[in-house]
Structures are given as structure tokens and as C-alpha cells.
Amino acid sequence: MANQTGKMQDAQDRLSQVASHMNATGRAGLLEKRPDDIVVTAALRTPITKGGKGGFKDTAGADLLYGAFTNLIQRSGIDPSLVEDIAVGNVLAPGGGATEFRAAALAAGFPASAAVRSLNRQCSSGLQACVDIANAIRCNMIEVGIGAGVESMSTQYGPQAVTEFSELLENHPASAECKVPMGQLSEQMAKDRHISRKDQDQFAVNSYQKASIAQKQGLFDEEIAPLKVKWTDPKTDEEKEITVSVDDGVREVTMQSIGKIKAAFSKDGTIHAGNASQISDGAAAVLLMKRSTAERLGQKILGKYVSASVVGVPPLLMGIGPWKAIPVALEKAGISKDDVDIYEINEAFASQCLWCANELGIPMEKINPKGGAIAFGHPLGCTGARQVSTLLYELRRTKKKVGVSSMCVGTGMGMAAVWVSE
């Protein structure tokens, strides 16, 4: 009899949840708290350092991931045995990084029962990892999981990372477009869409200035997990143990200084090293579960995942991905662009980020308030997971609620997700 009563109560609770979903709409509905919400109870990242010369230049990607994992366990207080699956976004590692990422999880203290996989959707890999885990929780495949991302561009970026195409693909017009370097694509896009160098440079300077101010004020401290690593001094060849605690690509930039940088892809071009994302190293991790699970485990809730979208665009227009993906994610969440308080849009290139923002009609003050990839870097597989911690902590700090993370994706895609802070 008691068992029947319990089942009836569960059914009534579920009906109440369904009714709540049906009655609440728009932003107000989004802010409601429900037992089956997919929540984030911890989100962090390592510092992001300059590829080839920064603090992590001598650190393997799997070791960065290990650092993110150990800090996530410590910060959240989660019992590692409760984590059932870990998805890791990565772009450059041979074999997708699957073997070393599993090894990193075991070294960090997760038991053999915690499954691990790697995935690659280029620049959105870290976000895709978080979304995959959220969806696995939503459909009751798992209860607790981690979405993560990592990239060591110091060790794995370069000619060896370029994909070889077969004769069939080389000779297919649409397929061949997937190999055109993104810098060249962005240069052509800037020209076709009439995005001036001055506008691109001003966007980049703003990113640097926002990041510099945020760093000086300690606004990144909550999201960053410092790491101790071995580092070889390039001047003396001496190996040292150092603690990396800040993004080392952030610097003071002005319109005057950025104006001296030569164009990278054509003599009269507009894109250069100062208004494009930095080559970088870093890792990030996000702990996800249902609200009911978090409450049962005593986990503090940082925010919740709401919806996501992934879209395709012509390969030669890969930079417009956020412009197409963001409205789809907003529609799935049942809100409009004006309901969003902060947008974290990856700054792959100032040209594409600026164009997407203008076309969507998003006020600049809502975009990347602490700067973006131009200022502190874009470790390819890490960025999507990194944006989650940056976004949720900034929403909480500013007492705002709704955020969107998004990025363009190489070969012609875009991805976006909607998040809510608590």
C-alpha cells in the first residue's frame, strides 16, 4: 500500500511539472526551478596561455585535463564514483585523444566505472561535450556527468594537423571548400560584407581592454583553477616548476599599437594577429546533473542548461555560424534575443563576431563583457566548455540571469546554447 501511495505521489509530482511547463512561457518560464532541470554545480577552467611560448607550452593536453578534473572534484566535493560519463571536446590530438583522456580521468581519481569519450566538432567541441552530457542526463541514461574540453596547440597545432583529402573530395567543389583556411575565408567575408579594418581593430581593442580590466579586478579568479606545471626557460633551457594562475595573452592594446600590425592573408587585407583569436593552450570542465539530484547530494547550483542548437552554413561562410545558430537556440528556449542578458560569442575573428552581432541586433555591451578569444585565446576544443564558466560566473556577479554561448565552427557550422544563472 505504501508503495502504491509513493507511486501515486510521483505521478502527481510529474503532472505538476508538466503543468508548470505548459503554463510558464518566455523569460519568466525559463527562470522557474523544476526538479528535472539540468543544472551546473561546478564549472571551471585552467588559465589560457599563449601557444608555443606561454605557461603551458611544455604541458601535454591530457595533463591540462587532469588538472581541470582534480580541481573540479575538489571544488564541487562530488564523490568521483557518482560520475557515470565524461565527454571531452578536442580537435587536434591524434586519435581524438580518447586513450589519454581516459587515462587522465583515472589519474584524477575517477574510478574505472566512470566512462570517458572524446568528440570533435571543431571549435564547438567543448560545448558539444556539455550538451551531450546534458542530453544523456535528460533522457535518464546517466545521473551525473562531466562535459569538458581541452587543447594543447603548443604541441599539436601546425602542418601536421591539416587533414589530407582523397582525390574524390579534392575534386568535389563543395568538399574542397572545407579545406580553405579560415583566415582566408574571414578575409573574404570581411571584404564581401564591407567590414573595415578600423571596425575590426576597434572591436579587438575593446576585447583586450575588457579582459585587462577584468584581470586586474580579479573577475576571472572564480572560474580559473591555477595549475603547477613544469616549464622550460627558453633562454637558459632550465626546467622549472611554476604555478600558472592567469591568462598570459592579455595585454594593453590601443588603436595606435594595433594599427601597426601587418595584414596576415593579403597585402591589402584587414585581418591580422591583433584582431583574430590567439593560438592557445587550456582546459575546462563542467559538472552536470538534474536539480533533484543536486539537492539530494547537497551540491550548490551555479546555473542550468536550457537548450542548444547546431546548424550548417556554407563552408566558405563558416564565420556566420552564430548568426544562424543563436536564433534557433533562443526559439527552442522560448525566448527572444532581448531576453538575454549576456552573450558569450567566440571571437574567432573580429570580422565574423562583429558581423554576427550587428546582423542579430545585439547591443555590444551585452557581448563578451570580460573580453574574448582575441584577448586571451582560443584553445580549440576547450573554448565551448570555457565559455560556460565565464558566462555563469559573470551572470551571477552582475545579478543577471539569462546567457547564451555561441561560436562559429570550421567547415561551415554554428552552435549556440542557452544558460540560466542562479
Of 353, 356, 382, 408, catalytic: 408
The residues near 32 (Cβ < 8 Å, ≥ 6 apart) are 20, 24
Residue 172 among the catalytic residues: no
Q: 207 and 354 in contact (C-beta within 8 Å)?
A: no
Catalytic one among 21, 123, 130, 353? Answer: 123
Closest by Cα among 242, 250, 274 to 349: 274
Query: Of the listed 353, 356, 378, 382, which one is catalytic?
Result: 378
Grid coordinates representing 218? 580579479
Residue 72: partners with Cβ closer than 8 Å, 6 or more residues away: 42, 44, 78, 146, 225, 285, 287
Q: Strand 85-89 and strand 115-119: pairing?
A: parallel
CA angle 275, 278, 280 (to 5 degrees): 170
- Give one word for 361, left, alpha or beta, with left for phi > 0 and alpha for psi -120 to 50: left
How far is the C-alpha of 120 from the C-alpha of 409, rounded, in Å? 11
Q: Is 408 annotated as catalytic?
A: yes
Q: Sign of dihedral through CA atoms 247, 249, 255, 257?
A: positive
Considering only CA atoms, which of 312, 322, 315, 350 is closest in space to residue 416?
322
User: In sequence order, what are the beta bridge partners of 308?
Assistant: 417
Q: How far apart are alpha carbons 73 and 42 in whole angstroms?
A: 9
Give catalytic status of residue 378 as yes or no: yes
> What residues are labeled active site?
123, 378, 408
